[in-house]
Amino acid sequence: MDRKALIAYASKHGSTREIAERIRSLLKEKGVIFNIASIENVKKISDYSDVILGSALYIGRWDKRMVKFVKKNQEQLHGKRVWFFSSGPTEINELPEDMNAKHMSSSIKEIINFISPVDMACFPGCIDIEKLSIFEKWIVNKVDAPIGDYRDWTCIETWADNISKELNIK
Ligand SMILES: Cc1cc2nc3c(=O)[nH]c(=O)nc-3n(C[C@H](O)[C@H](O)[C@H](O)COP(=O)(O)O)c2cc1C
Protein backbone atom coordinates (compact mmCIF):
# COMPACT_ATOMS: atom_id res chain seq x y z
CA MET A 1 0.00 0.00 0.00
CA ASP A 2 1.23 3.51 -0.76
CA ARG A 3 1.23 4.96 2.73
CA LYS A 4 2.81 8.22 3.86
CA ALA A 5 3.54 9.02 7.45
CA LEU A 6 4.36 12.22 9.30
CA ILE A 7 5.77 13.09 12.67
CA ALA A 8 5.38 16.75 13.61
CA TYR A 9 6.45 18.45 16.81
CA ALA A 10 6.02 21.73 18.66
CA SER A 11 9.16 22.42 20.65
CA LYS A 12 10.42 25.66 22.12
CA HIS A 13 13.79 24.61 23.49
CA GLY A 14 14.52 21.45 21.50
CA SER A 15 13.84 18.60 23.91
CA THR A 16 10.50 17.63 22.32
CA ARG A 17 12.12 17.82 18.90
CA GLU A 18 14.76 15.34 20.11
CA ILE A 19 12.02 12.99 21.33
CA ALA A 20 10.34 13.22 17.91
CA GLU A 21 13.67 12.50 16.21
CA ARG A 22 14.26 9.46 18.43
CA ILE A 23 10.79 8.10 17.62
CA ARG A 24 11.46 8.64 13.95
CA SER A 25 14.81 6.81 14.03
CA LEU A 26 13.35 3.88 15.90
CA LEU A 27 10.51 3.61 13.39
CA LYS A 28 13.03 3.84 10.55
CA GLU A 29 14.98 0.93 12.04
CA LYS A 30 11.73 -1.02 11.97
CA GLY A 31 11.25 -0.18 8.31
CA VAL A 32 8.66 2.59 8.60
CA ILE A 33 9.70 5.95 7.20
CA PHE A 34 8.11 9.04 8.72
CA ASN A 35 8.67 12.54 7.34
CA ILE A 36 9.53 14.87 10.19
CA ALA A 37 8.80 18.58 10.58
CA SER A 38 8.30 21.33 13.07
CA ILE A 39 4.55 21.89 13.27
CA GLU A 40 4.57 25.40 11.77
CA ASN A 41 6.17 23.99 8.62
CA VAL A 42 3.42 21.45 7.97
CA LYS A 43 1.18 22.99 5.34
CA LYS A 44 -0.76 19.99 4.10
CA ILE A 45 -1.63 16.64 5.64
CA SER A 46 -3.97 15.18 3.02
CA ASP A 47 -1.22 12.88 1.69
CA TYR A 48 -0.58 11.28 5.08
CA SER A 49 -2.40 8.27 6.45
CA ASP A 50 -0.45 8.05 9.74
CA VAL A 51 0.43 11.07 11.86
CA ILE A 52 2.33 11.40 15.14
CA LEU A 53 1.99 14.80 16.85
CA GLY A 54 4.14 15.79 19.81
CA SER A 55 4.06 18.97 21.85
CA ALA A 56 5.88 20.41 24.81
CA LEU A 57 3.70 21.48 27.74
CA TYR A 58 3.89 25.06 28.96
CA ILE A 59 1.80 26.28 31.86
CA GLY A 60 -0.58 23.35 31.61
CA ARG A 61 -1.11 23.54 27.87
CA TRP A 62 0.34 22.34 24.64
CA ASP A 63 2.42 24.77 22.66
CA LYS A 64 0.07 27.26 20.93
CA ARG A 65 1.29 26.19 17.49
CA MET A 66 0.17 22.61 18.14
CA VAL A 67 -3.21 23.74 19.49
CA LYS A 68 -3.74 25.89 16.38
CA PHE A 69 -2.73 23.05 14.06
CA VAL A 70 -4.95 20.47 15.72
CA LYS A 71 -7.96 22.83 15.75
CA LYS A 72 -7.46 23.73 12.10
CA ASN A 73 -6.94 20.16 10.89
CA GLN A 74 -9.30 18.26 13.18
CA GLU A 75 -11.62 17.05 10.38
CA GLN A 76 -8.74 15.60 8.39
CA LEU A 77 -7.04 14.15 11.46
CA HIS A 78 -10.29 12.42 12.39
CA GLY A 79 -9.92 10.24 9.28
CA LYS A 80 -6.31 9.21 9.93
CA ARG A 81 -4.39 7.09 12.37
CA VAL A 82 -3.07 9.61 14.86
CA TRP A 83 -0.81 9.32 17.90
CA PHE A 84 -0.24 12.19 20.31
CA PHE A 85 2.51 12.72 22.79
CA SER A 86 3.18 15.51 25.25
CA SER A 87 6.52 16.16 26.88
CA GLY A 88 6.89 18.15 30.02
CA PRO A 89 6.70 16.95 33.60
CA THR A 90 9.93 16.98 35.54
CA GLU A 91 8.29 16.04 38.80
CA ILE A 92 7.97 12.35 38.23
CA ASN A 93 5.92 10.85 41.00
CA GLU A 94 2.91 9.77 38.99
CA LEU A 95 1.90 6.67 37.08
CA PRO A 96 2.11 7.18 33.29
CA GLU A 97 -1.67 6.90 32.87
CA ASP A 98 -2.28 9.56 35.54
CA MET A 99 0.28 11.79 33.87
CA ASN A 100 -1.63 11.46 30.63
CA ALA A 101 -4.91 12.57 32.12
CA LYS A 102 -3.43 15.36 34.21
CA HIS A 103 -1.16 16.79 31.58
CA MET A 104 -3.48 16.50 28.61
CA SER A 105 -4.03 19.92 27.16
CA SER A 106 -7.30 21.11 28.70
CA SER A 107 -7.95 23.55 25.87
CA ILE A 108 -8.55 20.88 23.29
CA LYS A 109 -9.73 17.78 25.13
CA GLU A 110 -12.94 17.61 23.11
CA ILE A 111 -11.11 17.90 19.82
CA ILE A 112 -8.71 15.16 20.85
CA ASN A 113 -11.67 12.91 21.66
CA PHE A 114 -13.17 13.70 18.27
CA ILE A 115 -9.89 12.85 16.49
CA SER A 116 -9.90 9.60 18.45
CA PRO A 117 -6.15 8.91 18.48
CA VAL A 118 -4.77 5.38 18.50
CA ASP A 119 -2.82 6.34 21.60
CA MET A 120 -1.66 9.29 23.69
CA ALA A 121 1.43 9.45 25.80
CA CYS A 122 2.89 11.95 28.22
CA PHE A 123 6.66 11.75 28.62
CA PRO A 124 8.81 13.40 31.25
CA GLY A 125 10.62 16.43 29.82
CA CYS A 126 13.77 18.44 30.24
CA ILE A 127 14.39 21.85 31.73
CA ASP A 128 17.70 23.35 30.68
CA ILE A 129 18.00 26.55 32.69
CA GLU A 130 20.54 28.00 30.24
CA LYS A 131 17.94 28.06 27.49
CA LEU A 132 15.13 29.76 29.40
CA SER A 133 14.02 33.37 29.09
CA ILE A 134 13.94 35.53 32.22
CA PHE A 135 10.18 35.05 32.44
CA GLU A 136 10.48 31.27 32.09
CA LYS A 137 13.17 31.17 34.77
CA TRP A 138 10.85 33.15 37.04
CA ILE A 139 8.00 30.65 36.52
CA VAL A 140 10.22 27.61 37.03
CA ASN A 141 11.56 29.18 40.19
CA LYS A 142 8.10 30.12 41.44
CA VAL A 143 6.68 26.61 41.05
CA ASP A 144 9.95 25.07 42.21
CA ALA A 145 10.08 22.77 39.17
CA PRO A 146 12.97 20.30 39.19
CA ILE A 147 15.69 21.33 36.73
CA GLY A 148 17.30 18.68 34.58
CA ASP A 149 16.80 16.13 31.84
CA TYR A 150 14.15 13.62 32.91
CA ARG A 151 13.44 12.17 29.48
CA ASP A 152 12.99 8.42 29.64
CA TRP A 153 14.38 7.07 26.38
CA THR A 154 13.40 3.48 27.15
CA CYS A 155 9.81 4.52 27.68
CA ILE A 156 9.87 6.62 24.49
CA GLU A 157 11.33 3.76 22.47
CA THR A 158 8.80 1.29 23.85
CA TRP A 159 6.02 3.63 22.77
CA ALA A 160 7.53 3.98 19.29
CA ASP A 161 7.92 0.22 19.10
CA ASN A 162 4.21 -0.20 19.79
CA ILE A 163 3.47 2.17 16.92
CA SER A 164 5.64 0.11 14.59
CA LYS A 165 3.75 -3.03 15.60
CA GLU A 166 0.45 -1.30 14.95
CA LEU A 167 1.63 -0.16 11.52
CA ASN A 168 2.92 -3.55 10.49
CA ILE A 169 -0.21 -5.47 11.34
CA LYS A 170 -2.65 -3.22 9.48
C1 LIG B 1 8.02 28.27 31.84
C2 LIG B 1 7.79 26.80 31.81
C3 LIG B 1 6.54 26.28 32.08
C4 LIG B 1 6.33 24.89 32.05
N5 LIG B 1 5.08 24.39 32.31
C6 LIG B 1 4.88 23.06 32.32
C7 LIG B 1 3.61 22.51 32.62
O8 LIG B 1 2.64 23.22 32.86
N9 LIG B 1 3.47 21.16 32.64
C10 LIG B 1 4.51 20.35 32.38
O11 LIG B 1 4.35 19.13 32.45
N12 LIG B 1 5.74 20.83 32.07
C13 LIG B 1 5.94 22.16 32.03
N14 LIG B 1 7.17 22.67 31.73
C15 LIG B 1 8.27 21.74 31.37
C16 LIG B 1 8.45 21.68 29.85
O17 LIG B 1 7.30 21.13 29.26
C18 LIG B 1 9.67 20.83 29.54
O19 LIG B 1 10.78 21.60 29.87
C20 LIG B 1 9.72 20.38 28.09
O21 LIG B 1 10.62 19.30 27.98
C22 LIG B 1 10.11 21.51 27.18
O23 LIG B 1 10.09 21.08 25.86
P24 LIG B 1 10.90 21.83 24.70
O25 LIG B 1 12.36 21.81 25.07
O26 LIG B 1 10.60 21.02 23.49
O27 LIG B 1 10.35 23.22 24.59
C28 LIG B 1 7.40 24.02 31.74
C29 LIG B 1 8.68 24.57 31.47
C30 LIG B 1 8.88 25.93 31.51
C31 LIG B 1 10.25 26.47 31.21
Handedness of CA 23, 10, 86, 6 (dihedral sign): negative
ipTM (interface predicted TM): 0.98
Mean pLDDT of 108-123: 90
Note the pLDDT of residue 28: 94
* Domain at 57, CATH number: 3.40.50.360
Mean pLDDT of 51-79: 93
The 10s digit of each residue's pLDDT in 69-81 is: 999 999 999 999 9
CA of 127 to the centre of ligand 1 (A): 7
Atom of ligand 1 nearest to the CA of 12: 27
With a cut of 60, say whether residue 1 has pLDDT above it.
no
Atom of ligand 1 nearest to the CA of 18: 26
Which pLDDT band holds residue 100 (cuts at 50, 70, 90)?
A: low
What's the domain range around 139?
5-169
Atom of ligand 1 nearest to the CA of 127: 19
Note the pLDDT of residue 167: 87
Mean pLDDT of 107-114: 84
Task: Give the pairing type, strands 61-62 and 50-58.
Answer: antiparallel
Which pLDDT band holds residue 85 (cuts at 50, 70, 90)?
A: very high
CA of 132 to the centre of ligand 1 (A): 10
The domain total for the chain is 1
With a cut of 60, say whether residue 169 has pLDDT above it.
no
Contact in structure between 163 and 126 (CB atoms under 8 Å): no
CA of 88 to the centre of ligand 1 (A): 5
CA of 4 to the centre of ligand 1 (A): 30
